Chains A and B, each alone.
Chain A
Amino acid sequence: MVRNFPPEFVVRVDREACINCLRCVRECPFGVHEYDREKKLWKRHHEKCVACLRCAYMCPVQAISIERSPMEYAPHPVWTNRVRKDIKTQAETGAVILTAMGNELPYVSYFDRLVLDACQVTNPSIDPLREPMELRTYIGRKPEKVELEEDNGVRLKTKIAPNLKLETPIMFAHMSYGSISIEAHLSMARAAKEVGTYMGTGEGGMHVELYPYADHIITQVASGRFAVHEEYLKRGAAIEIKIGQGAKPGIGGHLPGKKVTEEISRTRMIPEGSDAISPAPHHDIYSIEDLARLIYALKEATRYKKPVFVKIAAVHNVAPIAVGIIRAGADAVVIDGFRAGTGAAPQVHRDHHGIPIEAAIASVDRRLREEGIRHWGSIIASGGIRSSADVAKAIALGADAVYIGTAALIALGCTVCKKCYTGKCAWGIATQDPELRKRLDPEEGARRAANLLRAWSHELKEILGALGLNSIESLRSNRDRLRGVGLTEPELRVLGVKPAGE
């Protein structure tokens, strides 16, 4: 049967400018450019192009441009091109469609329908260049009250549970070594340490090269328990139990055996070449009581010195689940919204499960307050945070801090071509190929990742100044400083914000 599958992109080469240096052939890991030396003929495999733009930017004479293919199926509003391609792929393979990065369906973005307030006349705004602005955030359990003791000065009598000190309320999300390269991990680890925040290891363990940054690294315990080891738990700054993730709520993960290289095997402590399977549930957790058991098993193993977080995907009943998590003893609940990125996920899960992070933050924060236990644990929000404005809105909805994944990778050079799962990342991020990895210099990566945090932090200070606030915690759950534009009444009720103008 004829494979009637139009390519998504077309590679255009200016033949007059081209000097036949073959750089594009070497640069493209997907095999788009082919040159027959004997016949001196070029062939471009347009169907293999993913629009990562690597060849275009590396071409010394700028002869290459990548365009959306003009050849598409006849337009149809229901049977879109993507729908038709998916059906054909599945008819050919009989398999689950794999994809990467975040949800691609055009759901409404609440972040884009929320606007921030600003001071005018009656309460003056603050100039952050002139006055101190506090972005420091502590993640973890806060005491009911603080008792002081006086003898030769004042001493804190209350024992405070371990907290993480963040100089800015933005952390690098858990992305495993295996899904991304050690250079990408090193870039974020260095940036986190430099700026005074944290990064997550994901389920792939902590590579020895990250040990110098371990006090700025949050380790992860997921259902596969890869790399989980008493030294690993004791080495990090905090531990995160991963129950679910926003890009694929309710399912586990399979790192294909072909990606379990010698080094990956060493860090995950599993045999080389074997599938690394993370089951959908943790098989020792079937209830909140079981979750409490694991939380305290980890606290006992680390002698109560590390905060323990629990990460869940934002799902329909997220509020009571998050309350259960905090009551079970977690020091923070991490909520991952349905726009969260991933290195590999079945498309059907990525695009159709979970709820928007904005709604989840608001309902979890409200429910914890209603039950009088908001101070028992922090709320960390993640999944589709794209800018300092998103950070500010997430915090105003009730989050203590956010995790950024995709945004951090974009800072390192990612162009969101959505092919992470192939392991062929042309920008040296989502790959283990030694040649491709050379494309990301961890020094440069660290500088760029730190710059992103600094730029967003600066903008956050400016946002606070405009709001007339001088500390990020005055913004937390301060929904009165948000208004909704173009939202329905039930949506406004869930988000806890008034419509613009009211």
Chain B
Amino acid sequence: MEIPLRKAKVSREGEFVVVDAKGVHYRELNEVINELVEKGERKLRLINVNGQRYIADGLRCDCYIEIHGVAGDDLAAFANGPTVVVFGDVQDGAGNTMNAGRIIVHGHGTDIIGHSMRGGKIFVRGHVGYRVGIHMKEYREQVPVLVIGGTAGDFLGEYMAGGRIVVLGLERLETYPEIAGEWLATGIHGGAIYLRDEVDEDRLGYGAKVEKLTHDDRRFLEAEVGEFCSIFSLNPEEVLNAEFTKVVPKSHRPFADMYSDAKEG
């Protein structure tokens, strides 16, 4: 098969097509990725990635993409199916409005990871920044899952409308040892957040409350945290053997009483 040669060097290594992203503009890099996927390639390895944006953006396929380096903003935004494994960190908006697929990050993530995602899974081994999981949603059988190995910054799960976020807090920041930042789950009206720590209810934002874990919650955590541990070579028993706090919405209609027409009946 003919592999298109642009500035991005493309070669083959076993079952992988290897794309060298060194010094390549994102637009060209993504064009190469799209062409390869369109030609039926299903295993891509991108090397020397250094902040290129939009990798796997809007991609509809069941392909597997390995990224070596730092993935730039909006990794797999609007994606519909691909598995993206990052051996490095990801920048803002990884999984933004993703519909289906998986993102596995061996390093850290910055802000708005999983913003508005509707389906698929994101596993981040390290810490994540601000506004992560904002407005995550779910739709029928699509229930997105976001698992964070480290800690999360402020506004985690704000306006959350569905899906599940798990924060394990396996490592803590010296400067801010809390498992999640301020304004946790403000305006949440769907979904749930599980934090592997005790969390005072007074730290929650408007519309959120703490609820006891049920048997189903435990089973969910065993499955997802188990998968997380197997990916990142952790002992699942050790990780799961801890207190979890579950944060849920007080109501699916947080603004029901805000307007005069509702009160007039």
Contacting A at CB under 8 A, from B83-119, are 92-93, 96-97, 99, 112, 115-116, 118
- Residue A271 is within 8 A (CB to CB) of chain B in the complex: yes
- Residue B232 is within 8 A (CB to CB) of chain A in the complex: no
Whether B34 lies near A96 (C-beta < 8 A) is no
Smallest CB–CB gap between B189 and chain A, Å?
6
Contact residue among B26, B53, B187 (Cβ-Cβ distance under 8 Å from A277): B187
A301-B57 in contact given A230-B80, A284-B93 (Cβ < 8 Å):
yes
Contact residue among B96, B190, B259 (Cβ-Cβ distance under 8 Å from A346): B259
Whether B115 lies near A283 (C-beta < 8 A) is yes
A257-B54 in contact given A230-B80, A269-B137 (Cβ < 8 Å):
no
- Residue A367 is within 8 A (CB to CB) of chain B in the complex: no
Whether B79 lies near A293 (C-beta < 8 A) is no
Question: Which 5 A-B residue pairs are closest in the complex by CB-CB distance?
Answer: A301-B58, A225-B116, A93-B263, A98-B259, A300-B54
Residues of B within 8 A of A89 (CB): 260, 264
Smallest CB–CB gap between A459 and chain B, Å?
38
List 4 additional A-B contacts (Cβ < 8 Å) besides A229-B99, A234-B58, A270-B161: A95-B259, A96-B259, A257-B256, A277-B159
Whether B162 lies near A300 (C-beta < 8 A) is no
- Residue B203 is within 8 A (CB to CB) of chain A in the complex: no
**Size band of the A side of the interface?**
35 or more
- Residue A124 is within 8 A (CB to CB) of chain B in the complex: no
Contacting B at CB under 8 A, from A220-270, are 223-225, 228-231, 233-234, 254, 256-257, 265, 269-270
A421 to B258, CA, bound (A): 14
Whether B139 lies near A271 (C-beta < 8 A) is yes
**Size band of the B side of the interface?**
35 or more
Contact residue among A225, A254, A269 (Cβ-Cβ distance under 8 Å from B255): A254
- Residue A451 is within 8 A (CB to CB) of chain B in the complex: no
- Residue A302 is within 8 A (CB to CB) of chain B in the complex: yes
Whether B112 lies near A297 (C-beta < 8 A) is no
Smallest CB–CB gap between B69 and chain A, Å?
19
Whether A97 lies near B252 (C-beta < 8 A) is no
- Among B57, B118, B158, B260, the most chain A Cβ lie within 10 Å of the Cβ of B260
CB within 8 Å of A: which residues of B?
26-27, 30, 34, 53-54, 57-60, 73-74, 77-80, 92-93, 96-97, 99, 112, 115-116, 118, 131, 134-135, 137-139, 142, 155, 158-159, 161-162, 187, 189-190, 252-264
Whether B27 lies near A300 (C-beta < 8 A) is yes
Whether B261 lies near A422 (C-beta < 8 A) is yes
- Residue A274 is within 8 A (CB to CB) of chain B in the complex: yes
A98 to B256, CA, bound (A): 12
Smallest CB–CB gap between B110 and chain A, Å?
12
Whether B97 lies near A421 (C-beta < 8 A) is no
Residues of A within 8 A of B252 (CB): 257, 271, 273-275
A302 to B260, CA, bound (A): 42
Whether B58 lies near A228 (C-beta < 8 A) is no
Residues of B within 8 A of A293 (CB): 53, 73-74, 92-93
Smallest CB–CB gap between A329 and chain B, Å?
12
Smallest CB–CB gap between B21 and chain A, Å?
15
Residues of A within 8 A of B99 (CB): 229-230
CB within 8 Å of B: which residues of A?
89-90, 92-98, 223-225, 228-231, 233-234, 254, 256-257, 265, 269-271, 273-277, 279, 283-284, 293-294, 296-298, 300-303, 346, 421-422
Whether B131 lies near A256 (C-beta < 8 A) is no
Residues of A within 8 A of B115 (CB): 225, 283-284
Whether A95 lies near B257 (C-beta < 8 A) is yes
A419 to chain B: closest residue by CB = B261
B55 to chain A: closest residue by CB = A300
Residues of B within 8 A of A224 (CB): 116, 135
Whether A95 lies near B263 (C-beta < 8 A) is yes
A421-B161 in contact given A228-B116, A274-B189 (Cβ < 8 Å):
no
Whether A300 lies near B30 (C-beta < 8 A) is yes
Whether A271 lies near B190 (C-beta < 8 A) is yes
Smallest CB–CB gap between A291 and chain B, Å?
12
Contact residue among A230, A257, A270, A273 (Cβ-Cβ distance under 8 Å from B79): A230
A284-B255 in contact given A95-B262, A233-B78 (Cβ < 8 Å):
no
A225-B34 in contact given A296-B54, A302-B58 (Cβ < 8 Å):
no
Smallest CB–CB gap between B131 and chain A, Å?
5
Contact residue among B53, B79, B135, B142 (Cβ-Cβ distance under 8 Å from A225): B135
Residues of B within 8 A of A273 (CB): 252
Residues of B within 8 A of A283 (CB): 112, 115, 131, 134-135, 155, 158-159
B117 to chain A: closest residue by CB = A225
A234 to chain B: closest residue by CB = B58
